[in-house]
Amino acid sequence: MIDKTQIILKPLWHNKIMYIAIEFDYDCDTLKNFTSDLPHVKWSKTYNIFCTHHNKSRINELFQCFRNQGWYVNYEAFRVLKKTKHLPEVKQTSIINKLPILSDDQRVSISHFKKWLEQKRFSHNTVNTYVDVTSSFLRYLNYQNLNLISARSIEQFNYDFIFNAKKSISYQNQCISGIKHYIDFKNIEVDSFDIKRPSKDRKLPNVLSKSDVKNLFDATKNLKHKTLLILVYSSGLRIGEALKLRIKDIDFERGLIHIKSAKGKKDRYTLLSKALIPILKSYINHYTPNSYLFEGRFGDPYTQVSARQVFKKSLLNAGIKKYSTLHTLRHSFATHLLEAGTDIRYIQELLGHNSPKTTMIYTHVSTTKLIDIKNPFDSL
């Protein structure tokens, strides 16, 4: 019997480039997880929707992927688009839209590569990223009619697919890492493979004021959503860490939270706010989670997509227009601790940073010392 779940594929215009937007009921965790794992499908923070580059074959690929799961797919918007005479001027999209699909052997190899990465205990997001960029590289080889991986082909891919497409420095480094791991996985020897990694831009983190943080929590009425947001802020957690927490990781007596296998596969303890304890206990009594502290509909960990949706809705309800993400709460936690006089070495431990240099960035956004500086204009 065909599932009544409906997926809508529709055009999405961004900077005069057409993408395929994938719309469905975002309360369905199964569908969200399935879509996020699809190759070349990304979550757009700007439009709050899954999307991918547009081409005719891509629509067919998505249609088959979803239909194979028994879901109904509606792509009527693209049929209507063909009949429309006045279309926006379209820029040439990335070279990725011109790449042929993977061969059967390449699909098998990528599948084994994914398992190999998982066995090395890379995070779910890192595995998907490395698989995604390596698949693009192999498709690029097909496009260039190349049978062997060479330093030259990697350098050319880096130029055509990343530099010319104006991808971010972070994405470029991910591509290089993904391909290097694939070379190790296949035990391929590549002569003179030495693509220099570009230095990342040193950007200061966005931080919310204490009053903004309070307004954010006050505007969040749902108990589960409020508990999640307060926990992320009051403990300085990465969202992935918060969603992996189990009830047994909360030490109510000592006022600590045990973070296990965090970034860099490290364990650490962080703070459990005294003011959060009654809220947290009320949440647990009301929702009765079985294993994970924050669970989805079927007992799996609450998804990051759902958490981002919660955060965005709370920002809107609180009237906060400053650009913020869930990670902004972690930045705000660290900055507010520093402004309260907490030693930066303790902040480093609470955040789980390897180097104090990483934590020192918060000294650049803290206002504690800045407000003590006398402006020379005031003495004119």
Q: What is the pLDDT of residues 282-332, one digit of tens each?
A: 999 999 998 899 988 777 888 888 899 999 999 999 999 988 999 999 999
Catalytic, 327? Answer yes
Judged by DSSP in three states, 240 sits in helix
pLDDT of residue 196: 60
The one catalytic residue among 32, 54, 139, 238:
238
Residue 263 has pLDDT above 90, yes or no: no
Q: Which range, of 116-125, 171-180, 262-271, averages the lowest pLDDT?
A: 262-271
Candidate ranges 165-179, 296-310, 355-369; pick with highest mean pLDDT: 296-310
The one catalytic residue among 58, 139, 225, 330:
330
pTM of the model: 0.56
Yes or no: say if 154 and 134 are a contact pair by the CB < 8 Å rule: no
The one catalytic residue among 53, 180, 258, 263:
263
Residue 221 has pLDDT above 50, yes or no: yes
Q: Which residues contact 32 (CB under 8 A, 6 or more apart)?
A: 26, 303, 305, 306
Yes or no: say if 39 and 33 are a contact pair by the CB < 8 Å rule: no
Please compute the mean of the pLDDT values over residues 88-103 and round it to a whole number.
Answer: 61
* Average model confidence (pLDDT) across the chain: 82
Please compute the mean of the pLDDT values over residues 90-119 and round it to a whole number.
Answer: 78
Catalytic, 286? Answer no
The one catalytic residue among 182, 233, 302, 362:
362
State both tokens at 73: 């797919």
Residue 363 has pLDDT above 80, yes or no: no
Name the residue type at position 146. Answer: L
pLDDT of residue 85: 47
pLDDT of residue 58: 80
Distances (CA, A) of 232 to 10, 202, 223, 325, 352: 34, 24, 14, 12, 14
Residue 93 has pLDDT above 50, yes or no: no
C-alpha span between 164 and 166 (Å, rounded): 5
Catalytic, 362? Answer yes
Distances (CA, A) of 157 to 95, 133, 137, 141, 365: 10, 11, 7, 8, 38
The one catalytic residue among 54, 58, 139, 353:
353
Residue 220 has pLDDT above 90, yes or no: yes
Distances (CA, A) of 325 to 28, 97, 200, 380: 22, 30, 20, 41
Catalytic, 263? Answer yes
Q: How confident is the model at residue 2 (pLDDT cuts 50, 70, 90)?
A: very low
Map out the domains of the chain with their CATH numbers. 6-93 (3.40.1170.30), 97-186 (1.10.150.130), 210-364 (1.10.443.10)
Please compute the mean of the pLDDT values over residues 172-197 and round it to a whole number.
Answer: 79
